[in-house]
């Protein structure tokens, strides 16, 4: 079947998938998406492939072709458990690198090598080495939004959802926290550990302002504002709840605010809204230009050609993998404590 056209039988076959996204994708657009959805889902079976999709992917990817979805921590954790031969990362480059670190024997694909990240590009391995010279003996925590080369120079990784727990797990009075300045400031408020920061920023989250959010409050009664900790401090101070993308989603699902504004990449709102009828989503639409480089068309092409494939220098990979695995081990220890 060509991905450029779709027959009625195939359209009927993928109709249940449209029910997942009916609220956020107009019916007139669905046949265009459906042709790719059908072709991708069939090709996944043939290639023994799985698709990992970040929360910022568009609904037709997130709800209709992805096998594993979530924030960067969830994707890292669940990538380890897959028995697929091929992993397609519908996200950005550092996420694909993380999947490759944890699955060195598997083929890991990123549909567009240009899907980068402003945070990952804000720091280099040489920068980390200089910081270690400046602060000898101080442990280095790196946000997963960094390259494998940077991870290899650090002691442990973290995500926005586990950053405080990771910092406190080190048992140190001082920690170097890289590269997001705003996430570091948020962590510093949650712990007594002294946080040494870097000046990296997310180009999506740094565009939000407190004034913008207050204007939304003025226009919408009973509005709940929830924000990602990569946002500037004045934005976080204005928000009613601060958390990772997974924590934001859980908040909406469990609290069911009458109206909610999710201060993060705007596809996140679409993906959560697709399955909820009793919450009104107010959307300040800041798009990530890198996430939007991933499309159904290039996911299909990636599966067809098994490229572009992620490759990491083994000398770098071994050290970077250790930093990621230390993060996952802290998570497993926390789960054991809760179970006990």
Let me know whether 75 and 135 are in one domain: no
Dist CA 325 CA 327 (whole Å): 5
Nearest alpha carbon to residue 43 among 306, 291, 294: 306
Q: Is residue 132 part of a domain?
A: yes
Nearest alpha carbon to residue 289 among 56, 68, 110, 86: 56
**271: enclosing H helix or E strand:** helix 267-273
SS3 280: strand
Let me know whether 298 and 159 are in one domain: no
Dist CA 77 CA 82 (whole Å): 10
Let me know whether 143 and 270 are in one domain: no
Pairing of strands 49-54, 86-90: parallel
**Hey, what are 159's tokens?**
């995500």
**Hey, what are 215's tokens?**
């204007």
Q: Which pLDDT does position 334 carry in this prediction?
A: 61
Dist CA 326 CA 136 (whole Å): 21
- Residue 109: alpha-carbon gap to chain centroid: 16
Q: Which pLDDT does position 5 carry in this prediction?
A: 60
- The predicted model scores a pTM of 0.91
∠ at Cα 210 (207, 215), nearest 5°? 105
- Residue 157: alpha-carbon gap to chain centroid: 14
Count of all residues that appear for the chain in the document: 340
Q: Is residue 233 part of a domain?
A: yes
- Residue 117: alpha-carbon gap to chain centroid: 11
Instruction: Work out the number of other CB atoms within 10 angstroms of the CB of residue 188.
Output: 18
Let me know whether 19 and 153 are in one domain: no
**Hey, what are 245's tokens?**
């993308």
**316: enclosing H helix or E strand:** helix 314-339
- If one counts the domains in the chain, the total is 3
Q: Is residue 250 part of a domain?
A: yes
Q: Which pLDDT does position 196 carry in this prediction?
A: 98
Let me know whether 51 and 187 are in one domain: no
Q: Which pLDDT does position 8 carry in this prediction?
A: 86
pLDDT tens, N- to C-terminus, the chain (340 residues): 445 567 888 899 999 999 999 999 999 999 999 999 999 999 999 999 999 999 999 999 999 999 999 988 788 788 888 899 999 999 999 999 999 999 999 999 999 999 999 999 999 999 999 999 999 999 999 999 999 999 999 999 999 999 999 999 999 999 999 999 999 999 999 999 999 999 999 999 999 999 999 999 999 999 999 999 999 999 999 999 999 999 999 999 999 999 999 999 989 999 999 999 999 999 877 899 999 999 999 999 999 999 999 999 999 999 999 999 999 999 776 655 444 3
Let me know whether 66 and 104 are in one domain: yes
Instruction: Work out the number of other CB atoms within 10 angstroms of the CB of residue 45.
Output: 8
Let me know whether 326 and 297 are in one domain: no
Let me know whether 90 and 222 are in one domain: no
**176: enclosing H helix or E strand:** strand 174-178
Asked if 250 contacts 309 with a C-beta cutoff of 8 angstroms, the reply is no
Q: Is residue 259 part of a domain?
A: yes
Alpha-carbon dihedral 255, 75, 120, 207, rounded to 10 degrees: -20
CATH code of residue 176? 3.40.50.10800
Q: Is residue 2 part of a domain?
A: no
Q: Is residue 3 part of a domain?
A: no
Dist CA 237 CA 256 (whole Å): 21
Q: Is residue 1 part of a domain?
A: no
Enter the DSSP assignment of 122.
G
- Domain housing 241: 207-282
Q: Is residue 278 part of a domain?
A: yes
Q: Which pLDDT does position 331 carry in this prediction?
A: 76
SS3 100: helix
**Hey, what are 97's tokens?**
């690198």
User: Is the CA virtual torsion 55, 330, 139, 89 positive or negative?
Assistant: negative
Dist CA 274 CA 268 (whole Å): 10
Nearest alpha carbon to residue 225 among 214, 162, 253: 214
∠ at Cα 67 (180, 263), nearest 5°? 35
């Amino acid at each position: 079947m060509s991905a450029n056209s779709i027959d009625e039988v195939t359209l009927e076959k993928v109709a249940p998938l449209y029910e997942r996204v009916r609220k956020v994708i107009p019916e007139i657009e669905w046949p265009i998406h459906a042709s790719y959805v059908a072709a991708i889902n069939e090709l996944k079976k043939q290639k023994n492939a799985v698709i990992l999709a970040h929360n910022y992917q568009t609904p037709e990817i997130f709800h209709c072709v992805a096998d594993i979805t979530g924030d960067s921590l969830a994707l890292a954790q669940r990538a380890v458990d897959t028995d697929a031969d091929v992993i397609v990362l519908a996200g950005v480059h550092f996420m694909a690198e993380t999947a490759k670190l944890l699955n060195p024997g598997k083929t890991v694909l990123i549909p567009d090598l240009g899907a980068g990240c402003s945070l990952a590009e804000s720091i280099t391995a040489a920068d980390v080495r200089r910081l270690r010279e400046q602060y000898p003996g101080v442990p280095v925590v790196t946000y997963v939004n960094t390259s494998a080369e940077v991870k290899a120079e650090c002691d442990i990784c973290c995500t926005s959802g586990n950053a405080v727990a990771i910092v406190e797990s080190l048992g140190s009075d001082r920690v170097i926290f890289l590269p997001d300045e705003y996430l570091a400031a948020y962590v510093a408020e949650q712990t007594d550990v002294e946080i040494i920061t870097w000046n990296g920023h997310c180009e999506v989250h740094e565009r939000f302002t407190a004034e913008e959010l207050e204007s939304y409050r003025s226009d919408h009664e009973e509005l709940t504002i929830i924000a990602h900790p990569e946002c500037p401090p004045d934005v976080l101070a204005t928000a009613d709840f601060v958390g990772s993308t997974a924590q934001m989603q859980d908040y909406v699902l469990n609290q069911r605010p009458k109206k909610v504004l999710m201060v993060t990449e705007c596809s996140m709102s679409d993906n959560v809204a697709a399955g909820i009828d009793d919450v009104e989503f107010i959307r300040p639409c800041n798009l990530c230009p890198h996430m939007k480089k991933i499309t159904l068309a290039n996911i299909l092409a990636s599966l067809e050609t098994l490229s572009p494939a992620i490759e990491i220098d083994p000398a770098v990979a071994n050290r970077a993998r250790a930093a990621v695995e230390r993060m996952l081990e802290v998570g497993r220890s926390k789960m054991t404590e809760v179970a006990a």
